[in-house]
Amino acid sequence: TVSAVPILRTQKLTVRFDEFPAVRDVDLSIADGELRVIIGANGAGKSTLLDLLCGKTLPSEGEIWLRDRNITGIGEAAIARSGVGRKFQTPTVFKDMTVLENLQVASNRRVRVFQNLFDRVKPGPNDKEIAVAERTGLLGSLKRKASELSHGQLQWLELAMVLSQDPKIILLDEPAAGMTAAETDKTAELLLDLAGSHTVLVIEHDMAFVRRICETITVMHQGAVLAEGTAEEIEGNPAVIEAYLGS
Ligand code: ADP
Ligand code: MG
């Protein structure tokens, strides 16, 4: 059942660095199960918006609501525990561990510190780890060291680690950055598959990629929301063309 209350909502969300407003008065409303794409030029405030949503950065003004709960200022760990999963642009996997061990750290089945000292018996994958690995194309790589993965596989592993934490909403910052054309294709398919079971908010600048994966686009410009609509509406919007697409 789809709730009428948006899963994620912001009200006049603003952050200033010194005097500079990196994000200004952003009112965002993400419905349950939505796959929303945020586009905008470099420096438009997209990553800072995600930093605010996951609690990494505190807003100067405004509010963030997860369903009917005001999560403004509750802190990054508490926000993560309440179901907001964030994948950063640069992978944060443990390179000296296997794919499976990384998934186990993410779901708290394994502690990171001194794990090699204490592991007499290495636990095999459970059903959930198998499902997550299958979904992200890593099932055949569970025993490989993360350091042996391709750039694309590393990105998928990080996404798999986010999925292992059972997020209600997933925030992705340029998930196809630096990928080959084939990896980008696979990532688009992965996001479409994810959208079937999760709410996803993704920053992306490649319009071909965006057209393929999304229903609603939010355009940011100089920290504020400039427009919102379908790819067709956005690409025909003179203000968007002038500020972003025309360049
Ligand atoms: P985008 O992701 O859309 O490219 P960012 O959110 O990274 O843009 O940055 C938006 C603006 O905020 C940029 O002008 C950037 O320099 C500035 N900014 C981001 N983070 C900080 C920070 N921690 N301190 C000062 N300025 C910042
Ligand atoms: Mg960015």
ipTM: 0.98
In 3D space, the residue among 12, 18, 76, 20 whose CA is nearest the CA of residue 50 turns out to be 76
Ligand 1, atom 1: nearest CA belongs to which residue?
A: 43
* Cα dihedral 187/64/197/195 (nearest 10): -40
pLDDT category at 115 given cuts 50, 70, 90 is low
CB of 23 shorter than 6 A to ligand 1? no
Q: Which domains does the chain have, with CATH numbers?
A: 1-83+167-247 (3.40.50.300), 94-166 (no CATH)
Ligand 1, atom 13: nearest CA belongs to which residue?
A: 43
In 3D space, the residue among 176, 155, 173, 169 whose CA is nearest the CA of residue 102 turns out to be 155
CB of 19 shorter than 6 A to ligand 1? no
Q: What per-residue confidence (pLDDT) applies to 131?
A: 96
Q: How far apart are CA 141 and CA 127, in angstroms?
A: 16
Q: How far apart are CA 182 and CA 37, in angstroms?
A: 21
CB of 17 shorter than 6 A to ligand 1? yes
CB of 45 shorter than 6 A to ligand 1? yes
CA 90 to ligand 2 center in whole angstroms: 11
Kindly state the percentage of the chain with pLDDT values over 90: 77
CB of 47 shorter than 6 A to ligand 1? yes
Query: Mean pLDDT across the chain, nearest whole number?
Result: 90
CB 158 within 8 Å of CB 92: yes
CB of 141 shorter than 6 A to ligand 1? no
CA 124 to ligand 1 center in whole angstroms: 42
For a ligand 1 pocket test, name from 15, 17, 53 the mutation site with the most ligand atoms within 8 angstroms of its C-beta. 17
Greatest mean pLDDT range, 61-70, 84-93, 96-105: 61-70
In a 10 Å sphere around its CB, with 0-12 CB exposed, 13-18 middle and 19+ buried, how is residue 216 labelled?
middle
Q: What per-residue confidence (pLDDT) applies to 105?
A: 86
Please state the length of the chain. Answer: 247
pLDDT category at 190 given cuts 50, 70, 90 is very high
CB of 44 shorter than 6 A to ligand 1? yes
For residue 170, CA distances in Å to 153, 162, 163, 200, 222 come to 18, 8, 8, 5, 24
Task: Encode 167-219 in three state secondary structure.
Answer: CCEEEEECCCCCCCHHHHHHHHHHHHHHHCCCEEEEECCCHHHHHHHCCEEEE
pLDDT (tens digit, 9 = 90+) per residue, 50-61? 999 999 999 999
pLDDT category at 207 given cuts 50, 70, 90 is confident
